[in-house]
Amino acid sequence: MRLYNTLTRREEEFAPAADGQVRMYTCGLTVYARGHIGNFRTFVALDVLRRALRHQEGYGMRHVMNFTDVDDRTILESQKAGLPLREYTGRYIEAFLEDAAALGLEPVEVSPRATDDENVAAMGETIRALEANGHTYRSDGSIYFKIATLPDYGKLARLDHAGMKSGARIDSDKYEKEDARDFVLWKATQPGEPAWDPGIGPGRPGWHIECSAMALRLLGEPPIDIHAGGIDLIFPHHENEIAQSEGATRKPFSRFWVHVEHLMIEEEPGAGSEKMSKSLGNVYNLQDIAERGFRASTLRYLYLGVHYRKQLKFSWTAMAQAEEAVRRLVDFLARLEALPVRPARPDLASRLEAAGTAFASHIADDLNTAAAIGVMFDLVRALNSSIDAGELGASDAEAVRTLFERFDRVLGVLSLRRAEDERPPVPVEEIERLIGARRDARLARNFAEADRIRKDLDARGIVLEDTGSTTRWKRK
């Protein structure tokens, strides 16, 4: 498949370097708070990449997504909460896993925590290798990376430091550095802060070292195939990861760098938008989505409607439109269940095959999910039309379902919706009993009673639809 590589600023043909297995690292969440829907835009987009590589391209995956469970904010917030760091961050890891499941993220092969003993040890090893290669210096008990020792520093971000805004705050650390652009690998112990000593002196990890160390430890010999994350990580995080990893190993770190654009929030129509971020305080999480009456599957669909390298303007209107679109798909799939037994339609196979090919080629085109979804809807209209004309039977339905399952292995929306629908607000037995009672009422032409039952269920979140002789239900 074609994949945009930030390193070269071009789309390139992607295939794993070895054994048909993709070695991929995703920068995960800093677990000092519940992830918001901006965070999850990135994770869902990368989940689609993972699914496309696995289910469509047929590669094996070894995918690492970390939890950053030590940094200034996690330490600060855990202290505020009066909890040990590990326990405090553990709660948000749990919350993340719940949200990830709700959004249909496939579990990755490895989800390490930075503070796991073996990862701290790996950071020590990486830093020692950097020291041995002459890339570091020590100052006030901290260890720094000296970027002047790495000639191609900046190759990912391509920043022109000469032209940087005068007065821009470059140095946010209070530690002493030789050059403002140098960054800390290992922070000296501060009173009241947790500390480790993996053979380099007591302290705690700088922001970037964990990802280099874990990627190298868990994914083997560099270069890995793909390193991914939100677009804001290009600089400084990923640039510094490259410096650390390549300084330590003398080998290229990652072949592809994939970055997902931001989710933007528009609070009032026409008021302009800004990126959603915890520091701006304009965040919504999955709970907020649920409180507004929307489901996670709807949000997942909304994410996929915009190419991952374009900003996504989030609004409640957009959510409502996404919900209607998902409904159209679900209703179509439900229609397939009620088709009569009749001879298979001879020209259906080629129509389905064409759609399958078109869908796959859009996905293989740098994950053009929006165009792929368009293919799906084209097919829905054509097949709905055939159903109306009485041309489709049960055996055709099976072939159609199979194709949509193939689509959904990459998109992951329909299966998610189905899982949500398996837990309706009214017990299924009761719904079916009431449908039976209503059918009797209708046969007796007691429409008042029939409408009362439907209205009653509607108020409880269940919608009934009559289709010929049968009645089907769905969640509102």
378 binds RNA (CB under 7 A): yes
The only residue of 8, 190, 357, 385 in contact with RNA, by rule CB under 7 A: 385
The CA R_g of the chain, rounded to the nearest whole Å, is: 26
CA distance 297 to 463: 19
Site for RNA in 99-158 (CB under 7 A): 157-158
Tokens of 217: 């430890």
52 binds RNA (CB under 7 A): no
Judged by CB, which is closer to RNA: 169, or 199?
A: 169
CA distance 340 to 337: 9
Residue 36 CB, nearest approach to RNA (Å): 7
Judged by CB, which is closer to RNA: 251, or 452?
A: 452
42 binds RNA (CB under 7 A): yes
CA distance 30 to 117: 18
The only residue of 168, 341, 443, 459 in contact with RNA, by rule CB under 7 A: 168
Site for RNA in 224-263 (CB under 7 A): 229-237, 260, 262-263
Residue 160 CB, nearest approach to RNA (Å): 4
The only residue of 30, 212, 254, 285 in contact with RNA, by rule CB under 7 A: 30
For 71, 300, 445, the CA distances from 412, given in Å and listed in that order, are 33, 8, 43
Site for RNA in 337-376 (CB under 7 A): 365, 368, 370-371, 373-374
Number of residues assigned to the chain: 476
Taking CB under 7 A as the binding criterion, the range among 58-66, 129-137, 291-299, 461-469 that sits at the site for RNA is: 461-469
Site for RNA in 171-200 (CB under 7 A): 172
Beta strands in 121-223 (DSSP E): 136-139, 142-145, 183-188, 203-205
DSSP symbols for 231-272? GGGIIIIIHHHHHHHHHHHSS--EEEEEEEPPEEE-SSTTS-
Phi/psi of residue 103, nearest 5 degrees: -95, 5
Residue 409 CB, nearest approach to RNA (Å): 20
Residue 19 CB, nearest approach to RNA (Å): 28
Tokens of 377: 């809807």
- How many residues in the shown chain lie near RNA by CB under 7 A? 87
**Going residue by residue from 65 to 104, which x/- string records binding to RNA, judged by CB under 7 A?**
---x--xxx-------------------------------
The only residue of 77, 131, 331, 421 in contact with RNA, by rule CB under 7 A: 331
442 binds RNA (CB under 7 A): yes
* 426: DSSP letter: S
Residue 132 CB, nearest approach to RNA (Å): 26
Taking CB under 7 A as the binding criterion, the range among 109-117, 134-142, 216-224, 304-312 that sits at the site for RNA is: 304-312
For 196, 358, 407, 425, 476, the CA distances from 428, given in Å and listed in that order, are 54, 38, 28, 9, 14
Q: Kind of pairing, strands 142-145 and 136-139?
A: antiparallel
